[in-house]
Structure 1
């Protein structure tokens, strides 16, 4: 009868996404020994690069970095992963609030007044977000007021026209991946604050959060990080129990594998971290928090053609629509490859609704949408690939967790605060670019530095 192995380390790290791998590398560089326990059979967490066709990778998980994601640019350079700019030449196609399909120039001309309304709201959001301390949103001067209403309710109170209100909803759901009626207004302001200003958060062109991609796919980043800590990495090791004392932890995985250390860093999303058993149990405030931080909903669908035919028509492959099923799209062609690739986003309610449809029915609905915006050629892809974060066993939702009303002010202090030997990381705990890869790096480094300070 075989006995499951026991791993001895200074620091046990739960999760091999970017945050966990960064934490492991940082701990190792300080002369301490980490062991990384990953439930999946791969590294990367919410990053997932897969080949749709031989030599043509698509991103079913995280895809972009933005101009102010300095940690990720530095990390890519260190790991030898080249980057290239997101394609943005040409016009976006709009279909909002009954406007019908319009090119960007006509849409902006026809709805210039509505877009000016939207710009005023963005400037007001920036002013209010500047009052939110990213390390402690509950200490904002108007935290109690802002946390008692949803972002959607606040939006509704701004007196916007249907076009402006619809566009604001689409932009926000594209970031939060849930309807704005589910999110605290304080949480929206926190998100804006951690990401700079609305122009950096919502823009897709220069200065935005989706300006740059990785040659070979985003998966190159965690893969190369994993190579640096390969001797300390264990895959297919779902953590079930964390026993913790003042200066020791014992982490037990399904199958009986055990890891012992002096500290543990849990890098999972809060809701998944809450599914682990802890002995002794965690304080009730922490458990109550994780019950209120569900992972959001998002789906990505890729249509691959023999060429990017929309470019010849002066279009950039982007659509913004409330007709659906998708609310947004991007041209995600690869440099040096002749194929045309359009990515459609389904987020929030669209992901929940269309993600449950039969595959062929969902594809047909998305195809019809592309035809409306880009013409009959869109009906004849060579390949179609889609994927929903919530269906993945070790993800169970997409790139962020959102606080509903009263969560930040009632439970927020428990999000990143260590509990004895247990430290928390993961992008959801970041204070800069939370919910992005940039935030994952920041959170991993922060937790690792805290543990190193305690142990050395």
Structure 2
């Protein structure tokens, strides 16, 4: 089968659907090719019980995620606040302490961590998100890992570990695998560390979607109708100055004038291009692996921890979950109690590969240590790891390792003739988040439309 359109979009995640909608609104004909049997990409909502929506993928937006808030309003999807009231539970140095007690005991350690965060803000101020490799100290910062830099900051063992847990909670890779410049790029795309690296990620996790996050890509796809082709993995992209031919497994061939590849860089690199991509772009895709993340939801008959003055947030050096939060439905609708545990970076790679029974038993024990015996007896545990998913192979985003930005960074979003790049990794604001995915899709659409005109 052959389809002739103006713009072909590879990937029906949030970036690809955003780009396709912008192209359609401008009066041109798009076609979205999606390898999976669903839309959404790194957005995935499951409904294990009627009316209970669990976000295996992207879940929150923050107060400065204006694109996503506007999109939700336009699509008729309500927002509700993330529950934050109550104390956080901490597990370090062989003991579990609640928020106030933990802060009293480790006040000096926490002050030192805050000093490090303020220093990151100071350094990030010299980094241009559009050209991070041009920062005055880019060479120095991109040649050392975040872990190496943290080690040199004079933190106590507890402060050092706390900072590592919170950083991995954002990057989902060990801090030895990301350069200091890479972390600063994340900081500058999101504002300041208070928005990015706070213990509860308050700046990035303040609101959720009524009915589940997956409603966003589903309703975008409905607007596009039969312009979205599922179960169509792209094998190759042939391109010339003013035309593209995209061939899918299964026989579908799409011809157009422009193509937006709205995939994470490493997945984009698995497509065959004719002629081949420039060496720098191909080398970049070899250096941006997908991060490692695994979510575990414990479901109870009610959110009992709230009556105990707890917010269901834990930060733990033991695990298997290093962080957690309250993941309940809107308060006014009632519903079960839900605690979400995060296994990220090495936790996802190690504990995430344990047999499910072993991992779930360890998770129940951990919840009981933090929130009492009742927490150790959930009615249901639902979990999922993103590295297992064929068309994603990891989550939340991708970051180049040391020297990646200074040697290859300028190829990340630079068009190659009629090929334009999207996905949240290419965003100039909130890279790694849904807000960044929308930003990237809108930017790629502008590039396409400029060429089409």
TM-score relative to the length of structure 1: 0.98
1:315 to 297, 306, 310: 310
Q: Is the 8 A contact 1:65 1:72 kept in 2?
A: yes
Q: Is the 8 A contact 2:166 2:199 kept in 1?
A: no
> Does structure 1 residue 389 correspond to structure 2 residue 391?
no
Residue of structure 2 in register with 1:111 after alignment: 106
Residue of structure 2 in register with 1:268 after alignment: 263
Q: Is the 8 A contact 2:4 2:254 kept in 1?
A: yes
- Identify if the C-alpha distance between structure 1 residues 394 and 365 changes in structure 2 by more than 3 Å, giving closer, same or farther: same
Q: Is the 8 A contact 1:250 1:259 kept in 2?
A: yes
What displacement does 1:379 show? 2.0
User: In the TM superposition, what are the counterparts of 1:194-233 in structure 2 within 5 Å?
Assistant: 194-203=189-198, 208-233=203-228
> Does structure 1 residue 189 correspond to structure 2 residue 184?
yes
**CA root-mean-square deviation:** 1.0
User: In the TM superposition, what are the counterparts of 1:60-209 in structure 2 within 5 Å?
Assistant: 60-96=56-92, 98=93, 100-203=95-198, 208-209=203-204
Provide the C-alpha distance between the structure 2 equivalents of 1:338 and 1:34, rounded to a whole number of angstroms: 41
Q: Is the 8 A contact 2:52 2:335 kept in 1?
A: no
Residue of structure 1 in register with 2:437 after alignment: 440
Residue of structure 2 in register with 1:372 after alignment: 369
Moved more, 333-342 or 442-451: 333-342
Provide the C-alpha distance between the structure 1 equivalents of 2:201 and 2:325, rounded to a whole number of angstroms: 15
Residue of structure 2 in register with 1:359 after alignment: 356
Partner deviation per Cα, 1:293-316 (whole Å, 9 max, x = no partner): 000000000000011111111111
1:45 to 16, 41, 45: 41
Gaps of 5+ in 2: none
Provide the C-alpha distance between the structure 2 equivalents of 1:211 and 1:190, rounded to a whole number of angstroms: 22
Residue of structure 1 in register with 2:335 after alignment: 338
Residue of structure 2 in register with 1:12 after alignment: 8
After TM superposition, the runs of 4+ consecutive aligned structure 1 residues lying more than 4 A away are 204-207
TM-score relative to the length of structure 2: 0.98
Q: Is the 8 A contact 1:202 1:209 kept in 2?
A: no
Gaps of 5+ in 1: none
Partner deviation per Cα, 1:20-43 (whole Å, 9 max, x = no partner): 000000000111110000000100
Provide the C-alpha distance between the structure 2 equivalents of 1:308 and 1:149, rounded to a whole number of angstroms: 43
Q: Secondary structure of 1:246's match?
A: coil
Q: Is the 8 A contact 1:85 1:211 kept in 2?
A: yes
